[in-house]
Structure 1
Amino acid sequence: MDRQRSAAALLVGAGVLFAIYPILRPYSSELGRAGADAFASPLWIVAHVSAMIGFITLVLALRALNVGTAADVTTLIGVALVLPYYGAETFALNVLGADALDTGNYGAMDLAEPIRYGMTQSVMFGVGLVAIAIGAFLVARRVACWQGWVFAAGFVLFLPQFFAPPWMRIAHGLLILAGAVLLAARTFERQEISTTTGA
């Protein structure tokens, strides 16, 4: 029963972190002075670190949820592939933006594109997010409830939301939060039913 409580708490924690990410993330054209301001902002660091911790918390939540080896391993592999990209985007772009503001050399902001979209990192990032989506799908199939499908939808849409406007990205973060909270509530409800039946 403690394991189920831990799973519920971790799910909610992951949902909150994934909601914080798009809400706090500075949005801009990401070019010139506007891009430098966004990258150099402390909120850039806070938002992206929240996402990274969210992915780690997701792995721990699924382990506690006991949804099967396939979901656990697929999600773990996905997170392992995604985190290096987030690390580069979080810290390298923050330094790039701060340096551009300090020197007034906004042409250096052109380096953001190769940092983000080089072949190796793009493939790792894309494959990682697809693996996480598959893991979430396996979770939904295993728990066999509508709450699980809401949870899975958030991660299936994780890659497409990067091409959406800010308000849709924020809505996506709230979708992940809703799915995580719903699945946590369902997990807790099942625990209560099991406890009552056992008594």
Structure 2
Amino acid sequence: MNTGNSPAAAGRARLGALSIAISGVLFLLYPLVRPYADETSIQGAEAMASPAWVAAHLFGMIGFILLSLGLLGLRVALRETSAEPLVSRAVVVTWIGAGLTLAYFGAEDFGLNAIGQRALDTQDLKLLVELTEAVRFNPIAITVFGAGLVSLAVGSILAAVAVWRSGILPRWSGVPIAIGFALFIPQFFGTPAMRIAHGVLITAGSLWLASALWRAQRR
């Protein structure tokens, strides 16, 4: 099926596909690289103070940004279909979700890294536990984080519905990534293996959607 895209529009859609694909890889690197340890122990302080902690959370943050940019490419591809209003809403909701989520991820990344380093310097586990809880469970912070992740889930579901209705991309190509973001909050309560499996799901879904979007520009 011809999408009717001009060369410039097709190029923007391909950039969107590339952004989605890279974001998916980063969402797998996040749980793979992140160190896991009892965060009330010295080992937990070492994990938080490590370069791997900073890198892993940075991968996640860049992933949220690239996902948001990628949906702009999806909007370009679907702009002449009946699904265009729906994918436009998906873009807006996802951008809001990414913005809200990044604030918390930044504190988790750089704030807890500094706390871990300080706890190692002082060998003060009470400091580690108290400050970690203060950062993570501040009522406003955790509410903003939750709202951001819910918005990302809603945005990805809207995008999946838009893909389903578009008639341009394979109907199921947006479903796995939507499931992955719908499960983003529950995966925080899982084991490291479960969190990595969740990363695999988002990566697979992202690569499928990106591949479908890229191929559609050749028709």
Interval containing the TM-score (normalised by the shorter chain): over 0.9
Q: Which amino acid aligns with 1:185?
A: S
Matches within 5 A, 1:25-174: 25-66=34-75, 68-110=87-129, 111-144=131-164, 145-174=171-200
**CA–CA separation in structure 2 for the residues paired with 1:98 and 1:177:** 32
Residue segments in structure 2 that go unaligned for 5+ positions in a row: 1-9, 76-83, 165-170
2:26 to 10, 14, 17: 17
TM-score normalised by L of structure 2: 0.86
1:192 Cα deviation from its structure 2 partner: 2.0
Aligned partner letter, 1:53 = I
1:192 counterpart residue number: 218
After superposition, give the CA deviation of every residue in 1:69-88 in whole Å (9 maximum; x if it has no partner).
Answer: 21011001111111110011
Give the root-mean-square deviation of aligned CA atoms.
0.9
After TM superposition, where is structure 1 displaced by more than 2 Å over at least 4 residues in a row?
Answer: none
- Shift, 1:138, TM fit: 0.4
What is the CA distance between 1:32 and its match in structure 2? 2.1
Greater per-residue helix proportion: 1
Shift of residue 54, structure 1, vs aligned partner: 0.5
Identity within the alignment, %? 46
Q: 1:87 and 1:49 mapped to 2: Cα distance?
A: 8
Amino acid at match of 1:2: G
Unaligned runs of 5+ in 1: 194-199
1:5 is displaced (CA, Å) by: 1.2
Contact 1:32 1:107 in 2 (8 A): no
Partner SS, residue 192 of structure 1: coil
1: CA distance, partners of 2:57 / 2:157 = 24
Q: How many Å apart are 1:4 and its aligned residue?
A: 1.9
Q: TM-score, normalised by structure 1?
A: 0.94
Q: Using the alignment, how far apart are the partners of 1:188 and 1:80 within structure 2?
A: 26
Out of 149, 157, 179, the position equivalent to 2:205 is: 179
